[in-house]
Every structure is written in C-alpha cells, then in structure tokens.
Structure 1
Amino acid sequence: MAPSIDNESSLFNFVVRDGNGVKGIVDSGISKVPQAYIQPPAEQINKNNATKCLFPPIDLSRLDGPDHDEVVNQIVRAAETLGFFQVINHGIHVQLLESLEQTVHNFFGLPAEKKLCIAKK
C-alpha cells in the first residue's frame, strides 16, 4: 500500500525520519511522482535542450596543475546546475568502485528499520 505523502512534511517523514528513502517510495507502489521530486519545467532536461545541458566528464588529474581553478569551477557549475557530475582520472581502483556499488545496493535493499539503525550510528 502506498504511503500517505500528500504534503512535504509527510513525504519527509516517510523518506527521511522513518528511513524508507526514495527506494521506499518506489517499493510502496505509488503511481504518481511526488511533487517535491518533479523539477520545474524550465529546468527539466528534454530532447530539445539536452545537448546544452550535458556536461563533459571532469578530469581530476588536472587539479594538481595550472588548470586547478578551472576544474574547481567545472565541479561547482555542474553541482549547482545539474546536481551531479562525472569525473575521470580520479585514481580510484575499479575493484573498490565495484565493491562500493555492491555495498550500496545491499544497504538500499535492507528493510527500512534496519537502514534506520545503520544510519543512526
């Protein structure tokens, strides 16, 4: 049964306070995306504006050189406008990234009450 998320307070309580997360919303079987998760139309990426909204990967190896400030500005711009970014040449081994991905999947697959216990530590 879908949770009662008819206002931002109840949505916050379900997602954050109760520890269900966004995955909990999806798993509950809701049929409509909560308004809080819908980006305003002017900011939405669609096929008409996708090319101007896409950011190239940010090369972190350039942080230690003369391009440091430019790389920092790319990160800030991507974080402020799109909310995420892709980095390359970060020096993190693939095995560690794969292990992290598996750990994240395991965590979000836990029941809400178990996630709450872990999140409070």
Structure 2
Amino acid sequence: MANTAFSAPLHLVTSPNFESEPLMRQTQAPLRLTRRGKFVLIALPIFLVAAASMMIIGLFQSPANASDTSPLGVEATTVTVIEGDTLWGIAREFAPQLEPRDAVRQIGEMNSLSSSMLHPGTEIFVPTAN
C-alpha cells in the first residue's frame, strides 16, 4: 500500500477584536444554582441544626432510670458490708423470711455480682419481702 498524505487548507477563525483583548482577560459566566441546589444549600444545614438541637433537648428532658429504692421491682434494704461478711450471713440476718439460697441468688441478681466475694464498705441491696 502506498502512503498517501492529504493536506487540507487551514482556516483560522478569529473574533473581530481578537487583537484588542488579552488572552487572560476572558470573563466567565456567573455560577447559577438550580432549584434543587438552592434547596440543598439552604435546607440541609437547617435540617442538621434542628436535628442536633432536638437531640440535645431530648437528652436533658429524658427521665432518669436509676433508682436506689427498689431495684428489679423488689422491696429491698441497703446494707453496708463490713469485714468478714458473707452473702449467706447477710441473707440469714437481713432476710430471715426467705430461704437463704433464694436470698443469696436474689442479692446476686439485684447487685449484679459476678462472684460471692464481698469488699468491706460496699453497699448492697438485700431483699426484704417476696
């Protein structure tokens, strides 16, 4: 195959005042927002501020759930542990109306005890009635 080169005439089109305007001083079109863009630009920050303020207000308006008077809906008394106290001894002394095994189990549940070891000075709840 033969290599053939075609040449086309080159026509440059220039603006009528091309020489009078510098190349760097071209004006750009102003930025225009669509209706959706305006909505996002205005409504989104308002929504975020409103949601954050409602969360903060809700944080301060929620009632406290902790109660020292009756854990787990059982009538109880508060006992301060002294040196040498055991769960069995506390259950027999402060809950004589209950079976000691049941009282020890309830004391463990009411105070979220993971072991039977008690530390002096700790306050624990002891059930007083069934």
Fold equivalence (TM over 0.5):
no
TM-score after normalising by structure 2: 0.19
- As a proportion of its length, which structure holds more strand? 2
Superposition TM-score, scaled by structure 1 size: 0.20
